[in-house]
Structure 1
Amino acid sequence: MKENIKILFGHYLAGKTNPEQEKILMEYLADPANADSEFHDVMEKAWTKQRGETDYSLAAVQGLAQIWNKVEERQPKSRSLFPLLKYAAAIVVIISASLGWYAYKKTQQPLQTTIALISKTTQKGEKVKLVLPDSSIVYLGAGSKLTWPSHFVKGGLRKIQLDGEAFFEVKRDTTSPFIVHSGQMQTQVLGTSFNIYAYPKDRTFSVAVRTGKVKVSENSQGKLKELSLLTPGMKILYHLKERNYTVHTERVTEVNAWIKNSFAFKDVTLPNMLKSLERYYNVHIELKSNKLNQCRFNATFSNKSISNVMEELHVMSGKHLKYKIDTGTKTITVWGEGCQ
């Protein structure tokens, strides 16, 4: 057994052990019954190789003191400790790695470190560009909130929270899936670009893909239910209240058009469109007529002022939709007798 441990010890010093072997070694060395001098020949090699690289850190010195205490407790009074003194420097060098009893114990306990969270909230009419710790880029839309950790752990999940709208350009990392939580919905990728629309007060959730592949799932009572795998040009529209969804195609250039002040609406009801226009243009819109609730529009507005947008809606409705803009209060009143 001791011969095997000595061989294992030598491999550890050379950096050739795996986690299981290190566990066996550390548990053996942690036992006071094994704090004798059978490792002197191994330490001799460590002394020769490491004599110029002594570690004087607090952890090493404290660890060395504990080993001396163990040795002194086990040595007969008449027995000299001189052979061990020769290797004191070697023990200090390797203390935290090979005889670091406390360091090893800490690795067996769950990490207690807390990763700080960072949040960014945008106002109506505002959009910002953010760079995450992994170099992924996020364009955060108006009236939205993004929360992310101050750093991502390599090999772990890159989890963030979105309330609102954002376009993501995710840095590819096959060992660390990128997951966006939006209410009861979850979007997972490795490296791609996509847009999420997930305002908490709205009744719809959508994901549209520009590049790569995206998996969209619903979190139902703690269980994930995969809804769809999306590829470029695909968009999922999920109705939160009805808990049903549709998947359709759209131009990839329209996925993140809002970043450049181009807003595309496809078969959208007037109330939902007005909610989006409120956020984009930082105005308050009052819809005074229920007769307009079922009006649906297909429209794209590129670099238009809100007054131009309202005029185009007036024309598209067959002039049944009427509006009034109060520039002082930034309020738009909308009424009418329905659409053509």
Structure 2
Amino acid sequence: MDQERLYTLLTREIANELTPAEAEELQQLLQQYPHASYIREVFTKPWQETSYGSTPEQLQQMQARHLQRLQAATSSAATITDDVTTTTPVRRLWWRVAGVAASIALIAFTGWKLLYHPATQPLPLEKLVTSKGTRSQLLLPDGSHVWLNAGSKLNYPPTFAAGQPRMVELEGEAFFEIATDVNRPFRVKTKSFTILVLGTSFNVRAYPEEDSAVTSLVNGAVEVQLDQVGQQKVLLRPNEKLTVPAGLFANPDDARLHENETGKLQIPIYKQQLTQVKDSIVSETAWVKNKLAFKHLELEKVTALLEQWYGVEIGFHNEEKKRLYFTGMFETDSLDEVLDALTSTGSFTYTKDTRGKIWIE
């Protein structure tokens, strides 16, 4: 509604009808909508200069030309002549000029409103959320397939615009199989990086509570953009993964980062091969096949996987146990069966409290 009020006040200003209170209100609205200042200048200054800066002879000439246009547009010349031949021709001419200016200004502001405030607002994003202990699948509007892991959230549009990049936002973990569309590259945005894709399959793990984010490429090719402006990118090839500090986009002043002599951020990144656990099972994407797999992984990170997989809470009474390493693959096993398999190594034990929380001893 502020925009409609702005149009009204600007029209009144052009017609020289503003009250002092309205002039103050107009200045406040122009600060809120700065794009209007330019149009205001264009459509007020010339008319004011024409009306107030012209000589009486020039004004009479303008009036005569205006009368000719009116007479050509109507069959009642006498009525028109009576209307305009008054004792104050200069004042009536100003009001006619102001009326024309007001009409032009209204047209201009209608265009401005459509340009900067289109009537058709972008459709709200769809949202897919999975709680801990659950996983879900989704077919995107372009035919791309997404598997969403436990405790994750994916924001995506109800439809992808023609000729525009396909953009989704991820918090958590997801596996993507992207439908190829060279005219609409695919983008996955997280708080740590943006992944630029044409057509491929890859995994992204970017949970907000974890200290790192990982992109794992199965096939195709992706670029991982590590800064907001797109100057620093890392190309991944099949069977490679990239690990970066979590929250790079959300925390650009992170103390772990510093600029080199070229002014670019030095980001601690790690490019590695995907981890083969057994046969064709890769730990980074095993969850898509409902397999819980890890290889030479710290117990602290293993318990994080178990919390997401089974929807439980696990803590440590003995902090030293966090640095134990384990390898395993489980498919239909219950949580107790997994924990019993891990404790069979004799390296730790566990208990449950009255709330059901598991404690590593």
Identical-pair percentage? 30
Structure 2 CA distance, aligned partners of 1:275 and 1:77? 86
The match for 1:58 is: none
Q: For 2:333, give the aligned amino acid.
A: K
* 1:165-180 equivalent positions in 2, closer than 5 A: 165-180=173-188
Q: For 2:357, give the aligned amino acid.
A: T
Q: 2:271 aligns with which of 234, 247, 267?
A: 247
The match for 1:236 is: 242
Structure 2 CA distance, aligned partners of 1:279 and 1:264? 13
- Structure 2 residues not aligned, in runs of 5+: 1-68, 77-106, 247-253, 257-266
Report whether the alignment pairs 1:332 with 2:332: no
Structure 1 CA distance, aligned partners of 2:296 and 2:71? 83
Structure 2 CA distance, aligned partners of 1:192 and 1:72? 67
Structure 2 CA distance, aligned partners of 1:268 and 1:134? 36
Where 1:244 maps in the other structure, the secondary structure is coil
Higher relative strand content: 1
Structure whose CA Rg is larger: 2
The match for 1:308 is: 337
Q: For 2:269, give the aligned amino acid.
A: Y
User: Is the 2:192–2:206 Cα contact (8 Å) retained in structure 1?
Assistant: no
Give the paired residue count.
237
Structure 2 CA distance, aligned partners of 1:253 and 1:228? 25
Q: Structure 1 residues 166 and 73 mapped into 2: Cα distance closer, same or farther (>3 Å)?
A: farther
The match for 2:84 is: none
Q: Structure 1 residues 147 and 108 mapped into 2: Cα distance closer, same or farther (>3 Å)?
A: closer
Q: Structure 1 residues 237 and 303 mapped into 2: Cα distance closer, same or farther (>3 Å)?
A: farther
TM-score, scaled relative to structure 1: 0.62
* 1:211-226 equivalent positions in 2, closer than 5 A: 211-219=219-227, 222-226=228-232
Structure 1 CA distance, aligned partners of 2:132 and 2:207? 13
1:227 offset after TM fit, Å? 4.3
Structure 2 CA distance, aligned partners of 1:209 and 1:72? 73
Q: Structure 1 residues 77 and 248 mapped into 2: Cα distance closer, same or farther (>3 Å)?
A: same
Q: 2:196 aligns with which of 188, 194, 208?
A: 188
Report whether the alignment pairs 1:109 with 2:115: yes
* 1:19-34 equivalent positions in 2, closer than 5 A: none
Where 2:302 maps in the other structure, the secondary structure is helix
| Cα-to-partner distance string for 1:73-99 (whole Å, 9 max, x where unaligned) | 966859xxxxxxxxxxxxxxxxxxxxx
Report whether the alignment pairs 1:273 with 2:307: no
The match for 1:148 is: 156
Structure 2 CA distance, aligned partners of 1:73 and 1:292? 97
TM-score, scaled relative to structure 2: 0.59
User: Is the 1:187–1:216 Cα contact (8 Å) retained in structure 2?
Assistant: yes
Structure 2 CA distance, aligned partners of 1:106 and 1:297? 63
1:290 offset after TM fit, Å? 1.0
The match for 1:93 is: none
